[in-house]
Copies of this chain bind each other. A is one copy, B any other.
Amino acid sequence: MIDTPYLLFLGDAPDQLAAKVAQGIKDWRPDAAVGQFRMEGCKADMGLPDMTLEEAKAAGAKTLVIGVANRGGIISPAWKHVLTEALLAGFDLASGLHNLLRDEPELVEVAKAEGRVLHDVRIPSVKYPIANGVKRTGKRCLAVGTDCSVGKMYTALAMDAEMQARGMKSSFRATGQTGILITGDGVPLDAVIADFMAGAIEWLTPDNDPDHWDLIEGQGSLFHASYSGVTMALVHGGQPDALILCHEPTRAHMRGLPDYTLPSLEELRDLSLTLARRVNPDVVVTGISVNTQHLSEDEATAYLAEVEARMGLPAVDPFRHGAARLVDALQAIG
């Protein structure tokens, strides 16, 4: 677990998109972020108070979270200076970057001397078991997508927030780096050793109260030639009671695979159910989450109505319209 609250490090982000990890924390865990730290030339802004390390420390921040992607895959000298200063000021560091904090000898040395922790959430810190497929108590909902990056994390977070607001028992279960930094815990599934993928998801979503829902963050797509094995492990390890189908209707081809078109929602429904029934014969699809960011309001409304009629399931864009109807559908089976 990563100590909260956070100071969000935006570095020299060239634009708002480069700081999407910080944006995720700000959107979904606003109480965990006391402020932002921006360097010269930073073009991102979370709308949080700009703070020096000293000011953030005084405000109670415990961990400096790198909320921005690094350019060229290296931790620049300018960044390293700030990170070192943060360790000296008493902060832990947390990062989802590909190049690890622990691979930077200066940071390791200072962290050790100061008794601070370097959290590299990119890679697992747990020895996961082999999955055993034994039925667990409690309920689980998994978001599956026609493609990568269609809004699966957002959907699960929005449903969790709605369930919390209703006083339901729920937990967002992070399976990717941004999700882990948002919640402070989770499984970085894409970095897990093949044999332990499904076991890692069983570990992440253990026995729970009969009326508790795990909202499991999806990864990849069963139809994505690069990452489908990761998604398969989520379906079998997650043992879902409910599936949410996630889709982005304007995409011309699968992300990163120009030769591959997206499957239909019907294909996603049928394949996901076939596979998930192996571990839970009672699994059902309860709703559809559409990322309509590239559609106008009218287009989005028309598209959602068409999908809802065609699939016979509530179809919403949780960003535009909230996750209430997706949660209603879970309550109806829970």
Contacts and interface: CB of A to CB of B under 8 A. Distances in A.
A126 to B, nearest CB: 14
Contact of A232 (B232, B278, B279): B232
Indicate how many identical chains form the complex: 2
A261 to B, nearest CB: 10
Contacts of A194: 189-194, 197, 229-230, 233
A241 to B, nearest CB: 16
Interface in A177-198: 189-195, 197-198
Interface string A229-258: 111110011000000000000000000110
Contacts of A197: 194, 229-230
Contacts of A226: 130-133, 195, 198-199, 236
A230 B192 CA distance: 12
Contacts of A223: 278
Contact of A225 (B228, B229, B230, B237): B237
A263 to B, nearest CB: 8
A42 B143 CA distance: 53
A135 interface: yes
A311 interface: no
Nearest to A274: B271
Contacts of A274: 271
Interface residues of A, number: 38
Contact of A132 (B222, B257, B278): B257
A303 interface: no
Contacts of A232: 222, 228-229, 231-232
Contacts of A278: 223, 225, 228, 260
A203 interface: no
A227 interface: yes
Interface in A249-298: 256-257, 259-260, 271, 274-275, 278-279
A234 B227 CA distance: 11
A134 to B, nearest CB: 7
Most chain B beta-carbon neighbours within 10 Å: one of A194, A233, A275: A194
Nearest 10 A/B pairs, CB to CB: A133-B225, A229-B233, A232-B232, A229-B229, A190-B195, A229-B232, A131-B226, A225-B236, A197-B229, A194-B230
